[in-house]
Structure 1
Amino acid sequence: MLAGEVGGSQAVTRRLQPLRDLLPHVARYRGRVGLALLFLLLAAGATLALPYAVKLLVDGALARPPGGAPEEQLATIREHFLLLFAVSLLLGLATAARYYMVSWIGERVTTDLRQAVYAHVLRQSPQFFETLKTGEVLSRLSADTTVIHHAVGSSVSMGLRNLVLLLGGLTMLLTTTPRLMLSVAGIIVLVVLPAVLIARRVRKLSRASQDRLADTGGIAGEVLNAVPVVQSYGRETAEAERFGRANEEAFVASMRRTGTRSALTGFVIIGVFASLLYGMYGGVRAVLAGEMSAGQLSQTALYVMVVAGSVAVLAEVWGDLLRAAGATERLMELLAAHSPIAEPAQSVSLAEPAGGLPLRFSQVQFAYPSRPTAQVLNGLELSIPTGQTVALVGPSGAGKTTILQLVQRFYDVAGGAILVDGVDLRRLSLAELRRRIAVVPQEAVIFSGSIADNIAYGRAGAAPDAIRAAASAAFVDDFVRRLPEGYDTVVGERGLRLSGGQRQRIAIARAMLKNAPLLLLDEATSSLDAESERAVQAALEVAMAGRTTIIVAHRLATVQRAERIIVVDHGRVVEDGTHALLVASGGLYARLAALQFAA
């Protein structure tokens, strides 16, 4: 029996082990945890004192032998009722204080945990999001933290309180009727051991249920971010059915968990109640035999109710804790994720450049981690002097955008090195490196907020005059002046209230305001009409002056005026020169130019 109990205890510890990861977050608030435990013990102590007070009332007042004066008996009864009221007053105040303190701890820990996970995810490299859907991350931040909040802010407190009541009630029962309660305790042990086995199944199903729920979040997040495309292709019904299948799987997984947890709760309650009723039956027989007073029987009955009620609550709490353990495990997986793009052990600082930054790619080898066998860059050699404007052209998949991602160190090279001002960029802190880079991506990213907020995104606290100057240079001022609220106009989620060209010009203004020495333009004018493109090209020429600029473009008309055009194919530089020189050479660039300009 002892070996079985030890094994069961170890199994319980293993199943709840993920909850240990919450302890550092809870330990920050030791003072409040101490107060919560104090109020918990006071409430539990008051609950355990009530049956004893009832015993005193029954034996000392109601069961007094005849002959005493009625006034004396009423005074005695009054004293006992005042004692009961004092105990209940303590119980009420301690319970209210415990509830407030525990709720505060639950809210605070959940808020801290959500913030820690979110901040950690933001620091992950793009490789992290190649394998994990954004919707699943959101599900863990919302659904899983809700489960943990319920556990920390309610279940743990209820569990501890009812554990104290269970142990205290059993202690009082063993003190008043030791022989009877020893047999009851043996029966309870036989009930709890099978319950431990059922609980193992509950934990697995809880994790599966949370995973299926995250799947639905992943699908919803993916589709809701692409509603126009879904509607354009008439896929509303198909996407609703796909979500419905995932939703149904989540429902089935949830009901499996709920069914098993219900069986666990029912089994524990029935088993423990049956054993305690057996103890009550023995107590009634003892009263009839004159071995126990009526007050002792009342006390025993109330303690039986306390113990039985505690077991019922503990069974519910056990299910909550198992579910919280699964949710904690999923959140800790996010916190345990380590970005392969690590800060250097000892970073090097660059001098503040007067102009641009020189770049050099030395025998760079690279393949995306999700496709390790598909080599994207294969011994790339390229030098870009300070302040030069270089255009990267070539077929799709040649590695042009990859070069921009490597310069920002979203990924690390597999071989060779990228040198910024003669320093391997892996020796620079990420903040130091990215502070010197401004980017205009192919798909302009606009955040919910005002136009001014979006332009100042890369330079927090920029003066309104500086924001307007950048906006004017990027021809944003033209359309903003026509808006009722001007630069304070809220653009909506992902800037959906703006046209594609307007979003692109705001992204260009953002890069110009940052005023970084290295400017990266990835198809920066792809969303503009011909007239807007000419205007923005003029603005970009101003922005590129005195900076090292790398332009990636498929439309060769946008790169003809670049000081230097680099043709990349299969991860290598195959041609290097001006537009006129490359056209005259009759190579890959000449063929691409002939196709585009003929069209």
Structure 2
Amino acid sequence: MPYYGWVKPNKYYVFLEPIRLINMARNVSSTKEELPKPKLNKENIKSVKKLLKYLKPYQFKFIIGMIFLFLSSITLLAFPALLGAMIDAAQSKQTYAWLPSDIATIGYIAFIILFAQAVVSFFRIRLFVEVSEKSVADIRRDTYFNLITLPMDFFSNRWVGELNSRLSADLSQIQTTMTTTLAEMIRQLITMIGGIAFLIIVSPKLTLLNLAILPVMIIAAVFFGSFIRKLSRQTQDQLAESNTIVQETLQGISNVKAFVNEAFEAGRYKKSLTEVVRIAMRGANYRGVFVSFIIFCIFGAVIGVIWYGSVLVLNGEMTVGDLTTYILYSMFVAGSMGSFPDLYANVQKAVGASERVIELLEEKQEDISINPINSKDRKRISGNLSFEHINFSYPSRLESPVLKDISFSVKAGEKLAIVGPSGTGKSTIASLILRFYNPQSGQLLFDGNPAENYSLTDIRSQIAIVPQDVLLFGGTIRENIAYGDLNASNEEVIEAAKRANAHDFVTGFPEGYETLVGERGVKLSGGQRQRIAIARALLKDPAILILDEATSSLDSESERLVQEALEELLKNRTSIIIAHRLSTIRQVDKIIVVNEGQVIETGTHQELIIREGGMYKYLSELQTETKPIHS
């Protein structure tokens, strides 16, 4: 058994007391994932330009906001000069000929400028927020619409969390940059340039002294800052690794206790945390050196400026007011320069986010109209369906064929059952009928016409599917049923629920049809969700119905109620029934047996059940076979 730092319980809890464990867990769980910060180049700048088109409808307000931003920055630069002039006026001196020497007048001017600055800042913030909120809302709308109209093979290669991150984290970063970062960078740039200009005007000698110290501080900050950030990331990575141990242990706590490995897990966690402390202490040493150096340089510069400035005042080369003005402008410039690294990092994140959003916006969409079901010029399908020599592999696994030379047909109003072992392509056939994917070869025909002759809107608006695992949206029961026809009246929704055996249990809830089903319909049982899905399909009144093992996971009573609802749903429409329980398909018009992507048997239940050596007969015997129970 490997040694992971076996410790006695009392020593272990002294090493990491419970409160500290809780705090560390909180820190880990609250740490946000850092967005990547790509280097700026021509390619990602092009991505930003593509998003800037969303500013065009609001460009007038954006320009006015920029003017207000410029005015607020300029008025801010006036205060150090006014304060210096006020100090000199107190000593009966006049700093600048263009300023009055009266203290009261200077004070009044300062308050007037302060009021103007406040008004201008309000409108600047108001306009920038309005422009950014509206333009980002437009980006969100287009990104979301483009996302939900992408083909299914796109989603098969993406994580839902990744796509959600693009709509949330990436667009939030772009919004923050447009609202705050961009304006702040321009303001700090104006402040820095204006401040340096005033520093040179007030005292060229003191400015030369500052410029001699500045390069040393910048080089040190860049070098040490990069090194310390690497150490900080290492600490976070190691801490995340230790948190993974906690998650794994708690998720498998029954196994830990069953194997009596509590001390082993405690030792493993201790070893990981010891490494966290080691890396953190190494980072603390370098951070301490860096902070001490920066403090020494900053305060050394301040002392040097005041010292040398005092000498200049003593020699009559500048006034006390000038020295005060110079110090204030120095603080402005230092603050502006100090804010640029964070602002630049935010811009980098926004550029990276822009690239990912543009990538999503430029993905090729399916040809789907916004409101397909009510289209008057929809090309009607009566229900005849044929597969002719279809071969299909999923785009992400082209080397692994799922369907091989599949051929079958079903007439309008007939019921076709598809059976076979798991993983043989039954649900893939349903996906092809809905044209979620296109076959690599062969033809899918509706009413004798190639599927390509119909728009996706025409096909999907006339096909309904009731899956095994029904997904309900987190609204009311009424809204979930009406999803089959968004323009259905209240009476039509209730009628569909009655035909689906759902009306009785719905009216049994205190809120009736306004009952919230919860996320993914978790507040309803499996049988209730199935009947809501059937009501939804009835409301859609499709020409072709697909049932994908709709009763396989239900208990006997729920199955009976759902089966009665399905009988109502199956009337007078073409039905494709993907079945797991063969007892539910004995009355269909035709059965096809699929194995390893190929149709190996076709016929009715009576024809297939008597075929010796046939797979249908074998599967039927497996389901009806009873085995003795050994005590």
> Helix, strand or coil: the match of 1:432?
helix
Cα deviation for residue 39 of structure 1 reads 1.8
Q: Equivalent residue for 1:315?
A: 341
Q: 617, 627, 630: which is aligned to 1:590? A: 617
Out of 525-534 and 395-404, give the one that drifted further.
525-534
Q: Equivalent residue for 2:97?
A: none
Q: Equivalent residue for 1:458?
A: 484
Q: Does structure 1 conserve the Cα–Cα contact (< 8 Å) formed by 2:217 and 2:294?
A: yes
Q: Does structure 1 conserve the Cα–Cα contact (< 8 Å) formed by 2:93 and 2:101?
A: no
Q: Equivalent residue for 1:169?
A: 195
Cα deviation for residue 589 of structure 1 reads 1.6
Q: Does structure 2 conserve the Cα–Cα contact (< 8 Å) formed by 1:206 and 1:326?
A: no
Q: 435, 459, 465: which is aligned to 1:439? A: 465
Q: Are 1:343 and 2:343 an aligned pair?
A: no
TM-score between the two structures when normalised by the length of structure 1:
0.79
Tell me, in whole angstroms, the C-alpha distance in 1 between the residues paired with 2:232 and 2:394. 35
Q: Equivalent residue for 2:73?
A: 44
* 1:283-306 deviation per Cα after TM superposition (whole angstroms, max 9, x unaligned): 444333333333333332222121
Tell me, in whole angstroms, the C-alpha distance in 2 between the residues paired with 1:237 and 1:103. 55
2:498 counterpart letter in structure 1: S
Q: 1:264 to 1:572 in 2, by over 3 A?
A: farther
Q: Does structure 2 conserve the Cα–Cα contact (< 8 Å) formed by 1:15 and 1:322?
A: no
Q: 1:203 to 1:163 in 2, by over 3 A?
A: farther
Q: 470, 494, 509: which is aligned to 2:520? A: 494
Cα deviation for residue 514 of structure 1 reads 0.3
Q: Which runs of 5+ in 1 are unaligned?
A: 1-9, 66-73, 216-222, 224-229
* 1:346-378 deviation per Cα after TM superposition (whole angstroms, max 9, x unaligned): x9x998677733222222111223333221101
Q: 1:235 to 1:561 in 2, by over 3 A?
A: farther
Cα deviation for residue 201 of structure 1 reads 8.3
Q: Equivalent residue for 1:29?
A: 58
In the alignment of these two chains, the number of paired residues is 559
Residues 275-290 of structure 1 correspond to what in structure 2 (within 5 A)?
Answer: 282-290=308-316
Residues 193-592 of structure 1 correspond to what in structure 2 (within 5 A)?
Answer: 282-336=308-362, 338=363, 342-343=366-367, 356-426=382-452, 428-586=454-612, 587-592=614-619
Cα deviation for residue 526 of structure 1 reads 2.3
Tell me, in whole angstroms, the C-alpha distance in 1 between the residues paired with 2:289 and 2:467. 55
1:47 counterpart letter in structure 2: L
Q: Are 1:76 and 2:102 an aligned pair?
A: yes
Q: 85, 110, 130: which is aligned to 1:104? A: 130
Tell me, in whole angstroms, the C-alpha distance in 2 between the residues paired with 1:327 and 1:265. 32
Tell me, in whole angstroms, the C-alpha distance in 2 between the residues paired with 1:332 and 1:41. 31
Q: Does structure 1 conserve the Cα–Cα contact (< 8 Å) formed by 2:379 and 2:454?
A: no
* 1:20-57 deviation per Cα after TM superposition (whole angstroms, max 9, x unaligned): 56533444422332232122111111111122223443
1:588 counterpart letter in structure 2: M
Tell me, in whole angstroms, the C-alpha distance in 1 between the residues paired with 2:121 and 2:111. 15
Q: Does structure 2 conserve the Cα–Cα contact (< 8 Å) formed by 1:117 and 1:335?
A: yes
Q: 1:34 to 1:194 in 2, by over 3 A?
A: farther
2:605 counterpart letter in structure 1: H
Q: Are 1:54 and 2:83 an aligned pair?
A: yes
Cα deviation for residue 473 of structure 1 reads 1.2
Q: 1:481 to 1:48 in 2, by over 3 A?
A: closer
Tell me, in whole angstroms, the C-alpha distance in 2 between the residues paired with 1:127 and 1:237. 43
Tell me, in whole angstroms, the C-alpha distance in 2 between the residues paired with 1:552 and 1:512. 18
Q: Are 1:159 and 2:148 an aligned pair?
A: no
Q: Does structure 2 conserve the Cα–Cα contact (< 8 Å) formed by 1:202 and 1:322?
A: no
> Helix, strand or coil: the match of 1:370?
helix
* 1:248-272 deviation per Cα after TM superposition (whole angstroms, max 9, x unaligned): 9xx99xx99x999999999989868
Q: Equivalent residue for 1:5?
A: none
Q: Does structure 1 conserve the Cα–Cα contact (< 8 Å) formed by 2:71 and 2:120?
A: yes
TM-score between the two structures when normalised by the length of structure 2:
0.75
Q: Equivalent residue for 2:145?
A: 119
Tell me, in whole angstroms, the C-alpha distance in 2 between the residues paired with 1:351 and 1:32. 42
Identity of aligned residues (%): 37
Q: Does structure 1 conserve the Cα–Cα contact (< 8 Å) formed by 2:609 and 2:617?
A: yes
Out of 369-378 and 38-47, give the one that drifted further.
369-378
Q: Does structure 2 conserve the Cα–Cα contact (< 8 Å) formed by 1:269 and 1:311?
A: no
Q: 1:278 to 1:358 in 2, by over 3 A?
A: farther
Calculate the aligned-residue CA RMSD, in Å.
Answer: 4.6
Cα deviation for residue 166 of structure 1 reads 0.3
Q: 1:377 to 1:277 in 2, by over 3 A?
A: farther
Q: Does structure 1 conserve the Cα–Cα contact (< 8 Å) formed by 2:39 and 2:348?
A: no
Q: Does structure 2 conserve the Cα–Cα contact (< 8 Å) formed by 1:522 and 1:552?
A: yes
1:540 counterpart letter in structure 2: L
